[in-house]
Amino acid sequence: MSHGAIVIEGRIRVPADVFDLERFRDWAHSAEFPATGQYSYIGGDIEVDMSPEEIESHNKLKGRLFLALGVRVEADDIGELLADRAFLVHAGAELATEPDITFCSWDALRSGRVRYAEHTAGSARFVEVVGSPDLVVEVVSQSSVRKDNVLLRERYFRADIPEYWIADGRGGGVALEILVRGPEGYIAVPPDADGFRRSTVLGRSFRIVRERNPVGGAAYRVHDR
């Protein structure tokens, strides 16, 4: 890698030659990759988020979604749920990022539509999710609004991902958007009379409610039927 770099906040160095998907992947798996922050390669740009994860509106909501979806996926034995830091790569979409939650069905894994891959051949370290998983989830933070709602929405569609969920717990409430593929982009699934939205991938309908825990903090409940 070259010696030139973009320096962020005086401490994070992004090498000047990583604005290419393959070089970005090499950097992401190298010892020089920063231990803090989130970095995504999106269509030739590198999106950097140095903000700490907000507990009430982000971390709790992400954890509750992962727990609820994990229980459903395991009960139905339809695939595997991967937590954040699973590194998703799709060359055709010019995308490398770490979704908050990724779901890969057994069918997708068997067919090779998505696979777990080594970055270094023969290492036996499977560090990339390559291809098109069935579903990805992003939980919106104050610093990721455009990334989640615009940039990743476009790139996940290009990556042939059947469903994209966007959860937003900011502002004292909670919203869940389930997006499914249309002819030219994702289309939002409308809620039914009870506020449930249907997931074709999981074969269930979901809604999220936000309540208060015994010490006044946020408590999220994910309902499915």
How far is residue 84's CA from residue 1's CA, in Å, rounded to a whole number?
27
Q: What is the pLDDT of residue 10?
A: 65
Q: What is the pLDDT of residue 8?
A: 75
User: Which amino acid would we find at residue 32?
Assistant: E
User: Which amino acid would we find at residue 84?
Assistant: D
Q: What is the pLDDT of residue 6?
A: 77
Tokens of 85: 């830091």
Q: What is the pLDDT of residue 12?
A: 80
Q: What is the pLDDT of residue 94?
A: 98
Domain range summary for the chain, segments of one domain joined by +:
5-49, 55-224
CATH of 55-224, one of 3.90.1570.20, 3.40.50.300, 3.40.50.620, 3.30.70.380: 3.90.1570.20
Q: What is the pLDDT of residue 205?
A: 98
Tokens of 31: 């010892």
Nearest to 50 by CA among 10, 20, 87: 10
pTM value is 0.94
Q: What is the pLDDT of residue 172?
A: 84
Q: What is the pLDDT of residue 2?
A: 46
Instruction: Decide if 27 contacts 39 (C-beta within 8 A).
Output: no
How far is residue 83's CA from residue 85's CA, in Å, rounded to a whole number?
7
Per-residue pLDDT of the chain (225 residues; tens, 9 = 90+): 445 677 776 678 889 889 999 999 999 999 999 988 899 999 999 999 999 999 999 999 999 999 999 999 999 999 999 999 999 999 999 999 999 999 999 999 999 999 999 999 999 999 999 999 999 999 999 999 999 999 999 999 999 999 999 999 998 889 999 999 999 999 999 999 999 999 999 999 999 999 999 999 999 999 999
Q: What is the pLDDT of residue 210?
A: 97
